[in-house]
Structures are given as structure tokens and as C-alpha cells.
């Protein structure tokens, strides 16, 4: 058993209290490799933003759970050696079993998500409460979920979105004891968040997604005032990087994300954590494709992963400052 405190992490309790007070959202960036992790640390370090490093079950399988844990621990040391001073949490994203959550807690995670939203309500409550009991015994915070997000990302698959029912949230919190709650108000996993027929088009022909259900968010806030809310599937699917991909051999058609202004509005509410994964993937892919198109003879990974890392750092800094409001530089 390794305590997250030994590794230099914090849990999300104080992070969310300060975010609520400051009316911003803590960025939760997923990573799968070293370059993504470097970009997250540098981007958040330069903007003096708190950050939640997210590891999905898919990332653990891809990169090896032991290696990922030591990468995250090394990221904390990298931040301190670079002179950065900002809180860092290590979080399991979309944990789907009690055993997975326990494994992460025992290897140094400071926060876990138990996603029982695919179960019937009472089973979701039972599973979440079980994880909370174990996690709180180790001072680890727990995120639960009510409602189902559509889309595909790693091992999370849902064909349709089911909005969170505000009349369930009070009972869910009382019976589970979770520290934060992920809700469904119209965000979606992956780069194809909305079907074209769900969108309208602006004057230039660009697809415009349907607005988020802020009425549901406001009703949930009314019922559980001051409680930390989480948004998943909140990448903007940045059009400029979709264009770079498509202009360099890619085929991302009708990729649409959540407009930045809607995320900023959410971040000023009780939404204390916003998850961003797809945008990181798109930026990295765009820069790699660009390098290969311009330098087809290149084979040194540093020459294409380096530019991808640097561009992702820039995007993270911009998101922290202009979208999430978490920057303190």
C-alpha cells in the first residue's frame, strides 16, 4: 500500500473548495504517454493552475499500471524541480469496478471515479457507497456519476445520452457519501459528440451543436447547493486542429465539440472539474501529421513528438486561462 501523500499528490477536496470560491473549474487532463504528461505539467505550471492528472482504465492497460504510476510520481518531481508550485491530484477516470478503484488507491491515486451509471439506480448507489467506504478510509476522494453520456472514449461506450434527473441527486449523495458528482447535461465522449442532424449551421456552414442543458445544472445546484459538480466529455474538438488533421491526410468528418463559451459559463457555476481528453489527442495527432506531411523522411520520434508536446502545452495554457478560469499567473 502506497499513500498518495508519499508521492506528492493531494486529493480534490481543497481543490474543489477553492474552485467553488473562485468560480472556476479545475482542469482534469487525461494522459497516455510521456509527452502528454510533460505538456500538462508545463502548461499548468506556467499558468499556476491546479490540475487533476487523469488515468483511464484504457490508459492503464495501454501503458502498464506500474509505469503510469511512476510517470505520474515523476511528473510531481518534474514540477517541483522546474520551480512550479501548484496542487496535483492523480485520479482514476471512469473506474467501473470496486476492485479497480481499490487497486488504484493502493498504488497511490488520490482520487477515484466509480462510474456505476450503466447500472440500475440502486445498483449504482450500492457500488458507489462501497467504493466511498474504502476510499475514505484512506483519505481518498470519490467521484460518482448520475446520468449517461453518449459517445465513445477508451472503454466508455454509450449510444445515447440520458440526462441526469435532478430529483435523484439528493438521495444519491445521502446514500453514497461521494465527494463530487459527474452529471449529464449534453456533453459527450469522443470527437464525434453530436450527429450532424442534431446540429445547426452558422452563416459560414460550420456545424453548431445544441446548447448544454443549463436548466438541469441550475436545478441540481438548487437542490445540492455548494456541492462540487463534474462535466465529462467536455473537449471543444478544436476546429483548427481538426482542419490540420484533415488537410494532412486525415478523415475527421463532422467532428464537433462543446463551444468554449458554454464551458466557461459552466466553470463559473458549481462545476468544479472539467474533463478534457479528446482535445489533447487531436492536438498531438494534428502536429504529428503536419510534421510527416512537411518532412516525409523524418523518423526520429523526438522530431514529431516534441512539436506535438509543445503545441499541447500552448493549448493547455490557453484553456486554463480563457476557458476554465483556473490560471493564476
From the list 262, 89, 110, 119, the residue with the least C-alpha distance to 188 is 262
Phi, psi (deg, nearest 5) at residue 48: 55, 45
93 catalytic, yes or no? yes
Q: Report phi then psi at 36, rounded to 5.
A: -60, -45
Q: Which of 81, 93, 155, 310 is catalytic?
A: 93
**Is the CA virtual torsion 47, 53, 59, 63 positive or negative?**
positive
Which residue bears the cell 466553470? 267
What three-state secondary structure class fits 126?
Answer: helix
Q: Which three cell numbers stand for residue 313?
A: 502545452
Q: What is the three-class DSSP state of 194?
A: coil
C-alpha cell of 19? Answer: 474552485
Q: How far apart are the first and last CA of the chain?
A: 36
Residues 60, 62: Cα–Cα separation, whole Å: 5
Cell numbers describing residue 156: 466508455
Q: Contact, 107 vs 69, CB < 8 A? A: yes
Q: In angstroms, what CA-CA distances link 125 with 120, 174, 178, 300?
A: 9, 10, 10, 50
> Residue 285 and residue 279: Cα distance in Å, rounded?
10
Q: Which of 253, 328, 315, 324 is closest to 284 using CA atoms?
A: 315
User: Which residue numbers are catalytic?
Assistant: 93
Amino acid at each position: 500500500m502506497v499513500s498518495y501523500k508519499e508521492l506528492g499528490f493531494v486529493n480534490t477536496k481543497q481543490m474543489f473548495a477553492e474552485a467553488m470560491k473562485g468560480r472556476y473549474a479545475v482542469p482534469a487532463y487525461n494522459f497516455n504517454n510521456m509527452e502528454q504528461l510533460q505538456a500538462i505539467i508545463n502548461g499548468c505550471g506556467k499558468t499556476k493552475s491546479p490540475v487533476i492528472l487523469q488515468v483511464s482504465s484504457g490508459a492503464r492497460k495501454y501503458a502498464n499500471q506500474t509505469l503510469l504510476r511512476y510517470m505520474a510520481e515523476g511528473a510531481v518531481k518534474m514540477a517541483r524541480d522546474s520551480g512550479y508550485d501548484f496542487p496535483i491530484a492523480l485520479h482514476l477516470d471512469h473506474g467501473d469496478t470496486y476492485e479497480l478503484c481499490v487497486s488504484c488507491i493502493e498504488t497511490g491515486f488520490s482520487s477515484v471515479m466509480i462510474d456505476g451509471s450503466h447500472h440500475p439506480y440502486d445498483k449504482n448507489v450500492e457500488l458507489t457507497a462501497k467504493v466511498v467506504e474504502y476510499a475514505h478510509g484512506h483519505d481518498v476522494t470519490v467521484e460518482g456519476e448520475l446520468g449517461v453520456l453518449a459517445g465513445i472514449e477508451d472503454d466508455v461506450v454509450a449510444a445515447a445520452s440520458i440526462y441526469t434527473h435532478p430529483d435523484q441527486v439528493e438521495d444519491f449523495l445521502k446514500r453514497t457519501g461521494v465527494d463530487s458528482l459527474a452529471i449529464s447535461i449534453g456533453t459527450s465522449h469522443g470527437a464525434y459528440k453530436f450527429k450532424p442532424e442534431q446540429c445547426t449551421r452558422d452563416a459560414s456552414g460550420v456545424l453548431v451543436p445544441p446548447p448544454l442543458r443549463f436548466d438541469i445544472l441550475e436545478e441540481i445546484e438548487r437542490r445540492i447547493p455548494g456541492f462540487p459538480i463534474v462535466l465529462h466529455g467536455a473537449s471543444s474538438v478544436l476546429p483548427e486542429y481538426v482542419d490540420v488533421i484533415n488537410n494532412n491526410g486525415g478523415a475527421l468528418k463532422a467532428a464537433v465539440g462543446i463551444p468554449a463559451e458554454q464551458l466557461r459559463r459552466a466553470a463559473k457555476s458549481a462545476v468544479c472539474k472539467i474533463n478534457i481528453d479528446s482535445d489533447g489527442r487531436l492536438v498531438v495527432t494534428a502536429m504529428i501529421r503536419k510534421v510527416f506531411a512537411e518532412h516525409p523522411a523524418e523518423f526520429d520520434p523526438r522530431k514529431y513528438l516534441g512539436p506535438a508536446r509543445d503545441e499541447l502545452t500552448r493549448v493547455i495554457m490557453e484553456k486554463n486561462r480563457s476557458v476554465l478560469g483556473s490560471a493564476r499567473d
